[in-house]
Structure 1
Amino acid sequence: MGDGIDRGISLRRLVNMSQRLYPKWQGMFDEIDQAMLMGKPFAEVLGPWLSVDTYYQLRLAERHGKLAETIHQVGKFLALQAKQRARLRAVMQYPVILLVFLVLVIVMVIHFVLPEVASWGSGAGLAIPPLVTTIGLTCAGALLASAVLLGVRWMTMDPEQRVRFLCTLPVIGRPTKYYWSYYLVANVAVMVENGMSLQEISLLVGQFDQRSMLYLVGQKISGALARGRPLEAVVSHLDYLPRELPSFLNRGLTQRELGEELAAVARLNYQRLSSRSSQLLELTQPLILVMIAAVVVVMYLSILMPIYQSLQVVE
């Protein structure tokens, strides 16, 4: 749709083209076409098929005349997601094949090799040391309890708290921060460029769905400012917002200049998101291969240890 808008094609015509390009989704495009024929706004028409945050991103853009640009941004992000999923599938093929063969080898070793090797020199199977059993059961119980506690905590969080939690995780924390920095700052930039003050923005997002990040972040910031906290302190507490944001807001720029600079910050965070995601994908296969190597080492040790013990018995 973004490419079609650049070529001057109307949205309704693009929807009709999509019916032929994607016959699997023809029913959805039929509903969209009928709703647009009745004069409904584009964002409202797409609402049932969008996440609540993407819906408000398009709604704000449509309201302020930035629909084509925002469709491009959303399309680029969805294309990036699809590309990364395809790369992940390609990267995972070789490790998955190795894992399948490794599982088969482990099953054969456990059922055929270890019983035979463990009985050498003693005539009985090798017993697992009590300390190893205790440590294994303790680790398994701790992991299970942690998973249950995290699941319970996750279910009690609102979307803003979940995003803040994800930002603290070691691997996916930084990409999560980059995405929400891009999303939130880009939407604020659209509103600021169209002359809205921070108070007007706060009032507008206060009317949004309470599940949306714009609503939750707006409530958190406005509530903190009402209690007399400086904007810098509020932003520093929100891990998903750029640390440099207060410096842009306090420079005394015109609305248009501020909007342009915020849009540049949003684009920078999108580029960081794309770069960081690519780096993580490149690390996926080596990490899995290291895990496979560790399993192979453990398997060899499980074979060699009974042999070593049997030699001690012979001595």
Structure 2
Amino acid sequence: MADLLLVGFSLGEALNFIKVVLPTKQMVLEKMIQSLKQGEAFSKAVQMHVKEDIYYQILIAEKHGQLAESLKTLGNYLNVKFAHKSRLIQLLEYPALLIFFLGLLMIGMKTYIFPQLSQWNLATQVHKFKYTALYSWGVWGSLLGILSYFFRSFSKQPIFKRVEVLCRLPIIGKVYQTYCHYYLSLNLAMLLKSGLGIKSICALLESFSPTSLLYQIGDALEKQLMEGQQAVSFINRYPFIPQELNVLLNKGSTTDSLGQELVMFSRIKYQKLTQQVERLIGFMQPLMFLIIGLIIVFMYLSLLLPMYHSMGGVYK
């Protein structure tokens, strides 16, 4: 769509053209077209069909005349995201299939093999095994209950706290933090390039949904500035705000120059994000095979240990 807008198509014309090219999306596109005909903004027309972070990026770009450029950037990001998702699914298909068959094998062992062991006068060992299995199920059930409790508690936390926790998670935390840096720096760049100052940006962000990250940032920053504090302490307080902003903001550049610098900075963060996701995807398959190996070891132990104890009892 960005390419169509850049060559002179209007929003309505671009959507009609896409409707012809993508017949499977006709219903969604028709709803957008009708919304535009009723005088709604493009961001409002797509709000129900995109994630919140993407919606606000489109909203900011639309308000300040950078819609085509923003859609181009978003399109590139979403294409790369889709490619990563497809690659991850391909890498995990084989390990997931192995885990499925191992699960069937474990069910078969429990149904056919362990009853045979019990017929070899292994009542004591089988009883111990059943006790161990019951204990294992209890442990797993407790873990699931604890995880469910923490998930519900986490979902009730303010968005600042949720994002901060996600940024501090092992393995995926750094990836999510880089995404936040990219997202915030790109949005700030668009606002600065449109000529807005910090106070005007805070006022604009406060017009967004109170549950959004951008609203919370604008509200918290405005309160801090009204108390006479500098933006530096605000930036240093949260891991999801890039620390490089301190250097860029203190350079004394004009608003337009600062906006251009932030555009370049967001591109660097985007490249870093892509590299981190590639490494994470490469890490997932070996992890899955490690889990499969542990399952196989457990299966052998659960089968051989009762037999070993039985043989020891016979020789005694």
Q: Show the counterpart of 1:41.
A: 41
Measure the CA separation in 1 of the matches of 2:310 and 2:130.
19
State the one-letter code of the partner of 2:42: F
Report the alpha carbon displacement of residue 187 of structure 1 after superposing the two structures with TM. Answer: 1.0
Residue 233 of structure 2 aligns to which amino acid in structure 1? A
3-state SS, counterpart of residue 210 of structure 2: coil
Deviation at 1:221, TM superposition (A): 2.0
Aligned-partner Cα distance in 1 for 2:144–2:123 = 37
Report how far residue 257 of structure 1 moved. Answer: 1.3
Contact between 1:117 and 1:303, CA under 8 Å: does it hold in 2?
Answer: no
Q: Which residue of 1 aligns with 2:210?
A: 210
Amino acid at match of 1:215: Y
Say whether the 8 Å CA contact 2:182–2:266 is kept in structure 1: yes
**Cα offset, 1:32, TM superposition:** 2.1
* Matching residue of 2:284: 284
CA contact (8 A) 2:125 2:310 kept: no
Partner Cα distance (1:202, 1:69) in 2: 23
Deviation at 1:96, TM superposition (A): 2.0
Asked if 2 retains the 8 angstrom alpha-carbon contact of 1:119 and 1:126, the reply is no
Q: CA shift at 1:121, angstroms?
A: 5.7
Aligned residue pair count: 315
Name stretches of at least 5 consecutive residues in structure 1 with no aligned partner. Answer: none
Q: Partner of 1:86 in structure 2? A: 86
Structure-2-length-normalised TM-score: 0.90
Q: Which range moved further: 165-174 or 117-126?
A: 117-126
- Distance of 2:124 and 2:215 partners within structure 1: 67
Query: What letter matches 2:175 in structure 1?
Result: P
For the 8 Å contact 1:115–1:125, the answer to whether it is kept is no
Mapped to 2, the partners of 1:11 and 1:255 lie a distance apart of 29
Using the alignment, how far apart are the partners of 1:238 and 1:250 within structure 2?
A: 18
AA at the equivalent of 1:232: V
- Paired letter, 2:292: I
| Letter in structure 2 aligned against 1:225 | L
Closer/same/farther in 2, CA of residues 169 and 116 from structure 1, 3 Å limit: same
Report the CA distance between 1:116 and its aligned residue: 2.5
CA contact 2:125–2:306 (8 Å) conserved in 1: no
AA in 2 matched with 1:101: F
Q: Which residue of structure 1 lines up, in the alignment, with residue 244 of structure 2?
A: 244
Separation (CA, whole Å) in 2 of partners of 1:310 and 1:241: 62
CA distance in structure 2 between the partners assigned to 1:255 and 1:212 by the alignment: 25
Q: How does the TM-score come out when normalised to structure 1? A: 0.90
| Partners of 1:235 and 1:246 within 8 A in 2 | yes
Q: Is the 8 A contact 2:155 2:162 kept in 1?
A: no
2:291 corresponds to 1:261: no
Q: Which runs of 5+ in 2 are unaligned?
A: none
**Structure 1 Cα separation of the partners of residues 109 and 131 of structure 2:** 23
- Code of the residue aligned with 1:220 in structure 2: it is A
Give the corresponding residue for 2:302.
Answer: 302
Q: Deviations over 1:41-96 (max 9, x none)?
A: 32233223233332221122122221111001111222223222222221122112
Partner of 1:102: 102
Q: Secondary structure at the match of 1:241?
A: coil
Structure 2 partner of 1:166: 166
- Partner of 1:127: helix, strand, or coil? helix
CA drift at 1:137 = 6.0
Aligned-pair CA distance for 1:27: 2.4
Structure 1 residue 98: Cα displacement? 1.0
Deviations 1:193-246 (A, max 9, x none): 222111111111112221222111111222233344442322122111111111
Q: What CA distance in whole angstroms lies between the structure 1 residues aligned with 2:293 and 2:154?
A: 33
Q: Percent identity?
A: 29
The amino acid of 2:263's aligned partner reads A
Question: CA separation in 2, counterparts of 1:14 and 1:40?
Answer: 16
Cα distance in 1 for residues equivalent to 2:250 and 2:34: 46
- Check conservation: 1:120, 1:307, Cα contact below 8 A: no
Change (3 A) 1:204 1:139: same
Q: What is the Cα deviation at residue 154 of structure 1?
A: 2.2
Q: Which residue of 2 aligns with 1:128?
A: 128
Measured in 1, the distance between the counterparts of 2:134 and 2:109 equals 23
The residue aligned with 1:186 is: 186
Q: Relative contact order (alpha carbons < 8 A, sep ≥ 6): 1 or 2 greater?
A: 1
Residue 127 of structure 1: CA displacement?
Answer: 2.1
Which residue number in structure 2 is paired with residue 274 of structure 1?
274
Which residue does the alignment assign to 1:66?
Answer: 66
Task: Give the whole-Å Cα distance in 2 for the aligned partners of 1:198 and 1:277.
Answer: 32
- CA gap of 1:114–1:32, structure 2 versus 1, over 3 A, is same
Question: In terms of mean alpha carbon deviation, does 122-131 or 160-169 score higher?
Answer: 122-131
What CA RMSD, in Å, does the superposition of the two structures yield over aligned residues? 2.4
1:119 Cα deviation (Å)? 4.9
Q: Distance in 2 between matches of 1:261 and 1:174?
A: 23
